[in-house]
């Protein structure tokens, strides 16, 4: 019988994590590196992730690579995946982390720039589909693989607008919720499609994580609405589930959306 801690090891595996310069993607990269995986970090500006890759390599004693990838552009994605396959020979784990919330533009739908709406969907939903398409053939040919998509609490429950208003936070665009809802549905359907090829596809939907840029008032209000009484902790709270889904310990989990939200969704 295999020991569970052995099943969580990722030695010999290669993980491509999109947009892992900081935030949740960085934490996931660290978690998979700690388990022994070779890590490939993508960025639209490859130079900007070189030092992060070096730091992770030194901290965990594993190999890291970087690659340029803009997931709004399919050719860029395909080139990045081809480069990774040529360089490392394999991609066992794809973490579709790149994406993002509100951006700098006005979120209120009446005033929102239609191009900002399209951009949001392109980055968060189409980008995830592009990356999954580009690695799928390789994973199908090998008969194994793990795809982990970053959804969001916003793709599961509606946002409490009063909370944002009280904290004087910018209006949150509904196209983000639409894109992340799409990521969660696509995860389920892709899991069904790829299961016969031995590929597991799951999404992680974080609740609000405090990356240090939120006002104390917003953190207080959000924490009050969260059963565990706090926002997600950078450096800790996303790592365990990412490792479970990436490793053999999660081999019987597919098509699921795992909420990492301190219980935020249970009162909604």
Triad 20, 22, 26: Cα angle to 5°: 50
List of E strands, 38-137: 38-43, 64-68, 93-96
> In Å, how far from its chain's centre is CA 32?
13
Q: Applying CB under 6 A, which part among 9-17, 59-67, 92-100, 161-169 lies near ligand NAP?
A: 92-100
CB of 6 or CB of 113, closer to ligand NAP: 113
Least separation in angstroms between residue 104's CB and ligand NAP is 12
- Kindly state whether residue 240 participates in binding ligand NAP, applying the rule CB under 6 A: no
The single-letter DSSP state of residue 91 is -
Q: Is 12 exposed, middle or buried (0-12, 13-18, 19+ CB in 10 A)?
A: exposed
With CB under 6 A as the contact rule, the residue among 12, 100, 227, 263 that binds ligand NAP is 100
- Whether 176 is catalytic: yes
Q: Applying CB under 6 A, which part among 43-51, 56-64, 192-200, 241-249 lies near ligand NAP?
A: 43-51
Least separation in angstroms between residue 4's CB and ligand NAP is 27
Task: Name the residue with the smallest CB distance to ligand NAP.
Answer: 23
| Active-site pick, 65, 176, 222, 252 | 176
Instruction: Give CA separation, 116 vs 150, 153, 188, 208, 247, in Å.
Output: 20, 21, 27, 22, 36
Instruction: Give CA separation, 98 vs 38, 91, 190, in Å.
Output: 19, 17, 18
- Kindly state whether residue 147 participates in binding ligand NAP, applying the rule CB under 6 A: no
With CB under 6 A as the contact rule, the residue among 17, 18, 37, 67 that binds ligand NAP is 18
- Kindly state whether residue 101 participates in binding ligand NAP, applying the rule CB under 6 A: yes
> In Å, how far from its chain's centre is CA 100?
10
CB count within 10 Å of CB 111 equals: 9
- Looking at the annotation, which residues are catalytic? 176
Chain residues in the site for ligand NAP (CB under 6 A): 18-19, 21-25, 43-45, 48, 69-72, 97-101, 123, 127, 150, 152-153, 206, 208-209, 211
């Amino acid at each position: 019988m295999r020991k569970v801690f052995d099943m969580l090891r990722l030695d010999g595996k290669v993980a491509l994590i999109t947009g892992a310069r900081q935030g949740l993607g960085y934490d996931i990269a660290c978690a998979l590196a700690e388990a022994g995986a070779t890590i490939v970090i993508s960025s639209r500006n490859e130079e900007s992730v070189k030092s992060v890759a070096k730091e992770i390599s030194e901290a965990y004693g594993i190999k890291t690579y970087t690659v340029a990838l803009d997931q709004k552009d399919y050719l860029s994605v395909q080139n990045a995946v081809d480069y990774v396959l040529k360089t490392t020979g394999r991609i066992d784990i794809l973490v579709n982390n790149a994406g993002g919330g509100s951006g700098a533009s006005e979120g209120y739908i009446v005033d929102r720039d239609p191009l900002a709406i399209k951009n949001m969907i392109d980055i968060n939903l189409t980008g995830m589909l592009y990356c999954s398409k580009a690695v799928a053939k390789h994973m199908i040919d090998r008969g194994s693989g793990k795809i982990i998509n970053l959804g969001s609490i916003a793709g599961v429950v509606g946002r409490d607008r009063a909370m944002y208003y009280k904290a004087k936070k910018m209006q949150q665009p509904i196209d983000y919720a639409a894109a992340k809802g799409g990521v969660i549905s696509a995860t389920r359907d892709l899991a069904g499609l790829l299961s016969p090829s031995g590929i597991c596809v799951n999404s992680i939907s974080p609740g609000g994580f405090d990356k240090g840029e939120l006002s104390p008032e917003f953190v207080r209000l959000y924490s009050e609405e969260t059963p565990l009484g706090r926002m997600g902790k950078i450096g800790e709270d996303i790592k365990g589930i990412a490792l479970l889904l990436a490793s053999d310990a999660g081999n019987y989990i597919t098509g699921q959306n795992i909420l990492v939200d301190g219980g935020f969704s249970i009162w909604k």
